[in-house]
Amino acid sequence: MHGFTASLKLHGTKRVVAAAAGISLAMVPILTGCGSSSSSSAASTAAAEAPAASAPAASAAASAAAVSVEGKTVKVVSCGDINPWCAVYNKVILDDLAAAGVQAEYLQDPFDSAQQIQHLQSAIAAKPDLILLEPDDDKSLVPSMQQAKAAGIPIIYNNSHPDPAAADTVVSVVNADQSALGRFAAQNCVEGMKAAGFTSGNVIALTGSDYTATSNDRITAFVDELAKTPEYKLVSNQNANWDAALTGKLASQLFAQYANKGGIQCAYGMADYQANAIVQAAQQAGLPVGVANKGLIVTGSNCFKVGIDNIKAGTQYGTATQDPETEGHSVAAAAIKFLSGESIPAENLTTEFRVTADNLADYEAVCTKA
């Protein structure tokens, strides 16, 4: 929706959560904790035509109508604490829910889709008021999500988009602008290579999981953005499954593979800890790294303290936001609003920002939470 901003308040940051652009307000289903539309089409039309001055009164009325979430039950089915981003993300969600009086259980898995399916089945059997689902594999979850819908259990889908076959099983999606993150990474690559004096170059991408829209949306946008500068070519795109050790191993192999083919001029590690693994692999291979050394350009696309430190050191050109604290607050805020009977948009996208040495001071605090 152009110009429409959801009222999910973020804690201590300049970032906002906005409903997906390009969808008219009248066409977006507004969902509540009762699982049904909050108004008729006539009421929607009247609301659209109401003067802006009536907004505070409408907001106050909605708050008065909202019910307490004390004692509501939520199952958080999500990636495990073994992953540093997930550890912070899920802690923020659980802390926010607990502060609101919600009884939440965290069913975590170490990017194991079979285990996540078992956890989702367990969550459905418990008949909670809401399931928060952060997927390992969008497609594999479809049958269980359809089962949850049949049982009348609402799902808020987090940090990805559901498989099209399960799109009607979720009450809302809370997601980062994954495409923007991919575009920013390509822009970092191109800008960094130009700054290092490369008029052409080979680029590699070591991604998260191929089984979610999270990674696929990012790499699609990365490829599209990089294609605007055809002198810089993506020569390898490999699934590193959000794993730092695997990322470093693949990077080492690619550095050796392309040593006699012009080398690698830029490497994209989808998370900053993956970018750091690439930096370490390059240094172990004796390759120069960074603009100042006219060496390998490295970028991430969601920020961690290690990435911020590397940008300061000149070994990583840039990253992007999608910090776990902001994303976690966004999910919890949507869940609490839903449970209290308030309306939430069908899709909530967090606005993301590109980060380089030039604007590092603006994002260092929020990007060093993990």
172 contacts: CB under 8 Å, gap ≥ 6: 31, 156, 157, 334, 338, 344, 345, 346, 347, 348
Do 344 and 210 share a structural domain?
A: no
pLDDT of 144-153, one tens digit each?
A: 999 999 999 9
Do 159 and 230 share a structural domain?
A: no
Do 340 and 288 share a structural domain?
A: no
* Average pLDDT, integer, range 289-313: 97
How many CB atoms within 10 Å of residue 270?
Answer: 28
Do 197 and 297 share a structural domain?
A: yes
Do 236 and 293 share a structural domain?
A: yes
Structural domain boundaries enclosing 125:
73-177+324-352
Give the per-residue pLDDT at 30. Answer: 38
Q: Is the separation of the CB atoms in 304 and 367 below 8 Å?
A: yes
Give the per-residue pLDDT at 87. Answer: 95
Total domain count, the chain: 2
156 contacts: CB under 8 Å, gap ≥ 6: 130, 131, 132, 133, 170, 171, 172, 173, 174, 331, 334, 335, 338
Do 126 and 274 share a structural domain?
A: no
**The domain that contains 230 carries what CATH number?**
3.40.50.2300
Give the per-residue pLDDT at 359. Answer: 98
Do 240 and 148 share a structural domain?
A: no
Do 362 and 252 share a structural domain?
A: yes
Whether residue 160 lies inside any domain: the answer is yes
Q: For the chain, how big is the Rg over CA atoms in Å?
A: 22
Do 312 and 182 share a structural domain?
A: yes
Whether residue 46 lies inside any domain: the answer is no
334 contacts: CB under 8 Å, gap ≥ 6: 8, 156, 172, 174, 344, 348
CA distance 187 to 232: 11
Do 82 and 192 share a structural domain?
A: no
Whether residue 342 lies inside any domain: the answer is yes
Give the per-residue pLDDT at 111. Answer: 85
Do 214 and 88 share a structural domain?
A: no
Whether residue 282 lies inside any domain: the answer is yes
Do 300 and 172 share a structural domain?
A: no
Q: Is the separation of the CB atoms in 104 and 97 below 8 Å?
A: yes
Give the per-residue pLDDT at 66. Answer: 59
Mean pLDDT, the chain, integer: 86
pLDDT of 106-137, one tens digit each?
A: 999 988 999 999 999 999 999 999 999 999 99
Q: Is the separation of the CB atoms in 139 and 146 below 8 Å?
A: no
Whether residue 183 lies inside any domain: the answer is yes
**Cα–Cα distances in Å, from 257 out to 41, 89, 111?**
60, 36, 29
Whether residue 19 lies inside any domain: the answer is no
Whether residue 39 lies inside any domain: the answer is no
* Average pLDDT, integer, range 143-165: 98
Q: What's the pLDDT band for 37 if we cut at 50, 70, 90?
A: very low
Whether residue 253 lies inside any domain: the answer is yes
* Average pLDDT, integer, range 86-100: 97
